[in-house]
Amino acid sequence: MALVFLDHPSSLAHDTGPHPEQAARIVSIERELDARGWLGFERIRSPAVQRADVTAVHSGSYVDAIERLCANGGGHIDFDTVVSERSFEAALHGAGGAVQLVEMLLDGTASNSFSAHRPPGHHASQARSMGFCLLNSVAIAARHAIDARGLERVMIVDWDVHHGNGTSDIFHASDQVLFVSIHQSPLYPGTGPARDVGSGPGRGFTANFPVPPGAGDAEFVSLVDHVVVPLARAFEPQLVLVSAGYDAHLEDPLAQCQVTELGYAAMTESLRRAAESLGAP
C-alpha cells in the first residue's frame, strides 16, 4: 500500500494577503519534501469534493454564500476569515482530498496518508465560517465514511493548539464519531472545557483535554499515550482521522505551547500503532 500525500495547486491561490494563514505554510512543507526526495510518498492531486458530501455537513445556503463571495472577488466572510476569488475552489479541493484519503484508506490502496490543503476547516460549523476556516474537511470526510461507506465508528483526534469547535459542534450529538481534542486553554476560540462531553446520544463521545500555556512534548505525548490511545481501544474505531494542526509548536507566534517535531512524531507514531492494532486505517 502506498504512503499518500494529497494536495492541489489551488491551495496556493487562496490569497489571504498579510495573514498568519498563508500559502507559505504549504510551500514550506512541499519544499522540505522535495529536499528529502518525498520520503516514499506517492503524490496525488486532490479532486474537488462532491456537493452532496459538503451539504451532508454544511447548510446549502452557507455553501452558496461562500461561493458567491468568492465569485465576486472575495473579501472578509467574518472578522478574521478572508477569501479571494479562488478560495472556494481551494476549499472544495481540500475537502475532496480528505474524502479521497478516506476512500483510499478504506479500499486498501493507501496506508497512512497526509492531506496538505488550505484554507483549514476545524473551526467551521454547520453554517458559520470562523478562525480562517471555510469547509470542515475532517467532518466532511468522517460523514462520508459513515454515509457512503457504511462505517459505524470514526475517531477524530484534533491536536491543533486551538479547540476544534466546529468539528465538535457538528458531531456533538453523534455516537458514531468520537471527537478528541488536545488544545491550549485559555486561547481562541474559548471553547472545549473538559466538562463538555457531548450531548444527547453523543454524550460521552466528545473528550476535551485543555492544556495550559507552556505545555510541550511531555504533556501532549503523555495525553496521547495514556488517555487518547485507551479511549481509542475502548471505542474501537473503524477509521482514525487526525486534524493535524501544528500550531502548538514552540516557534508558533499565535500560541504559547512548546511542542517540538519530536513530540509530533511521537504522537503520530502512537496513534498509528494504536490504529494498526485495532485494524483501523
* 123 carries an active-site annotation: yes
Q: How far is CA 218 from the centre of its chain?
A: 23
Q: Strand runs (DSSP E) across 159-216, as ranges?
A: 177-184, 206-211
Query: What are the backbone angles phi and psi of residue 88, rounded to the nearest 5°?
Result: -65, -40
- Residue with cell string 475517531: 155
Task: Specify the long-range contacts of residues 75-80, CB closer than 8 Å, at least 24 apart.
Answer: 77/129, 77/134, 78/128, 78/129, 78/130, 80/130, 80/131, 80/132
**Annotated catalytic residue within 123, 144, 172, 183:** 123
> How is the chain split among helix, strand and coil, in percent rounded to 5?
40, 20, 40
Q: Is 111:276 a contact under the CB 8 Å cutoff?
A: no
Residues belonging to the active site: 123
